[in-house]
Amino acid sequence: MRLLSPFLPVAVSLVLLSCSQSDPMEKRIDELIGQMTLGEKIAMIHAQSKFSAPGVPRLGVPELWTDDGPHGVRPETLWDEWSAAGWTNDSCTVYPALTALAATWDRSLSGLYGRSVGEEARYRRKNVLLGPGVNICRTPLCGRNFEYMGEDPFLAGQMAVPYIQGLQSNNVACCVKHYALNNQEFERSGINVNVDDRTLYEIYLPAFKTAVQEGEAWSIMSSYNRYENEYVSHNPRLLKDILKGEWAWDGAVISDWGAVHDTKGAATGGLDLEFGSHTNGVDVGASNAYDSYYMAAAYKKGIEDGTYSEEELNDKVRRVLRLNFRTQMGGNFGSMCSPEHYADARRIASEGIVLLQNKDGLLPLKGEGGKIVVLGENAIRPMAVGGSSSSLKAQKEVSPLEGIRAAFAGWNVVYERAYQGEPTVTGRYNYGLYDLTDPRSDRQLLSDALAAISDADYVIFVGGLNKNKMQDCEGRDRLDYHLPYGQEAVIEALSAARKDLIFINLSGSPVAMPFADKVGAILQGWYLGSEAGNALADVLSGAVNPSGKLPFTFPKELSDGPVKTERQYPGVQDENGRWQVYYDEGIYVGYRWYDSRDVEPQWPFGYGLSYTSFDYGKASASSKKMGKSLSFKIPVTNCGTVAGAEVVQLYVRDMEASVDRPFKELKAFEKVYLEPGQTKTVTLTIDRDALCFFDAAKHEWVAEPGDFQALIGSSSRDIRAVVDFRL
């Protein structure tokens, strides 16, 4: 059985290397297509192994190698199987999950993230990294929220663009996923999404549009679900009419693994490259099992007998060749697990941490020494593995306990478990299982924790979710909104003894915190990658002033949110037994719902505290009327004694419209770094597009003349300045 090997032969593609300015890429691609046989064309558009597609050896076109991201470069697998190949040189730097990146609200860090992970992918000879994910957090229960960038399409798109550009600067293609409407894992491989056009265009498509038009992403991954009762991998409306038509995108559509269901749909629906279909390549019994893919032998036969057009096949081949040219021509060599990459991961992680609560200035920790008690399973549980396809093989992973012990070396740092969750990691993508079994009963674990904290100077509970199934994990949604393993009762008991308890929540999704008013401080810690413990310790110690802001709303209870009925989630079965989900909330997703309906959340979108405070001055506009664009200026001052960063957010409100519109929508943001006492004037610019809604009847974006407001503040619920203007 062959192992997957991404390394190109020494005699690398002469055809690709011969392309120059005097021989433009498109002309060269046309020449190649003219020289290819039908069999060679067919071979290029489907897999030859779990993660690679063949080139054209006769013409010197190299193979195309993909790799699961988006948080790092996945370990090698066997040629035909999901099992790990068992290499010893395929460990990686694990970067923070994309929710943590989104929480930085920092475009420059997104670019750094993309460049850094791109260098690792380039070193491993990968052509396509499967990410970033920009699906919208519609419900906190979605198992893949941790892989996405929050609930707002503008934030997701803006944070995706620098990542894409940074990654592709290494000649590694982004494969932006999962296009489109993959907002739950329950029945993901067949559920049909029922959504109106306005909601589709205003909420679920904008981040993808930004990724391909501004980010110029070279590939996109189609999602598993159906839309308009057609699988997205062969959905002509999404793939041909919108993506390749309205958006004039010239990249390649790659199927998610096993997301293709028939030859006709794949041939005519807009798919370009098929992966992971109904064979593992070994036990089908054919001489080449990959010929049984939908876009393989059956497609070739259909072209030969006139069922399908070779012109449409040529378009697929052209797009795959274009992807090949773009990723095979670079001179970058890349690097793996370098000190610089760990520094990048640590910086991104620390700036993504969100300070949610800090009673009486409890944080940062103060003093020269004493006793710190660290509690909770997540203080010692590795988080790089698990999560299914995003599971990674970390060269190193610093746990929260290890990070705290290193940062507070002069302190007596004591650990107690306090509760026990699942002692092992679940899921077939794990690389190095570990056992965290504790022989003590739940009662004894809590009793030992209470005894330990009685004389502690600080008590830190590290809990939350993990990356096992039915938590933050591909293929399964969460069962409910509350913390698992009885953590809420444990925290209640601990906080009764210590009202200054510090709670660190590790999760990629919002969670219930009914105990919030009973603890002293709360940090949202996400899944922070290789440098998780060090990044958390940086914030706890004050070496880093927290500046993260929430990329989604934390409701007090799930029932407070817009998704309330069974038909909205998880869906209902129709008369044919097919699962249907209805987006009845329309455009009212996330803060759009809470702010427009005046429902008080636990923590609002865009929220995050600091160890300093920021004063907003009087805002002004470059004009009272919107032209092609309009700029707003507002002075922001650091009023505290430590340096810090503030994310200045601009929301637009349409004062009177012919259609129902949210109370406000995010349309600009900037992160500003300020020394103590320093003032900077922040400029936020919007254009007419920021005022538009999608008119489904006309199938066009409409900006109606009238009065608008720019609402500038520190979160969606903390507006510091209002400026009126008119279109």
75 near 66, Cβ under 8 Å?
no
83 near 3, Cβ under 8 Å?
no
CA distance 685 to 668: 7
Interaxial angle between packed helices 107-123 and 153-168, expressed in degrees from 0 to 180 and rounded to the nearest 10 = 40
Torsion region of 228: left, alpha or beta (phi above 0 gives left; psi -120 to 50 gives alpha): left
Nearest to 55 by CA among 385, 390, 409, 325: 325
Residues 6+ apart with CB under 8 A from 600: 556, 594
Residues 6+ apart with CB under 8 A from 343: none
Residue 554: DSSP 8-state: B
CA distance 607 to 648: 11
* Residue 31: strand pairing partners: none
CA distance 258 to 272: 14
Residues 6+ apart with CB under 8 A from 2: 49, 78, 79, 80
Nearest to 506 by CA among 419, 350, 378: 378
At 503, the amino acid letter reads F
How many CA atoms does the CB half-sphere of 101 hold within 13 Å? 35
- Distance of CA 119 to CAs 124, 133, 348, 386, 428, Å? 9, 19, 16, 24, 27
Measured in whole angstroms, how far is the alpha carbon of residue 3 from the centre of its chain? 29
Active site residue 256: yes
Radius of gyration of the chain (CA): 26
Pairing of β 128-130 and β 64-68: parallel
CA distance 503 to 484: 15
The active-site residue out of 90, 106, 256, 595 is: 256
CA distance 438 to 687: 58
CA distance 155 to 159: 6
CA distance 526 to 511: 11
The C-alpha angle 461, 466, 472, rounded to 5 degrees, equals: 135
380 near 415, Cβ under 8 Å?
yes
CA distance 396 to 342: 10
At 130, the amino acid letter reads L
CA distance 19 to 14: 9
Cis upstream peptide for 178 (omega within 30°): yes
| Residues forming the active site | 256
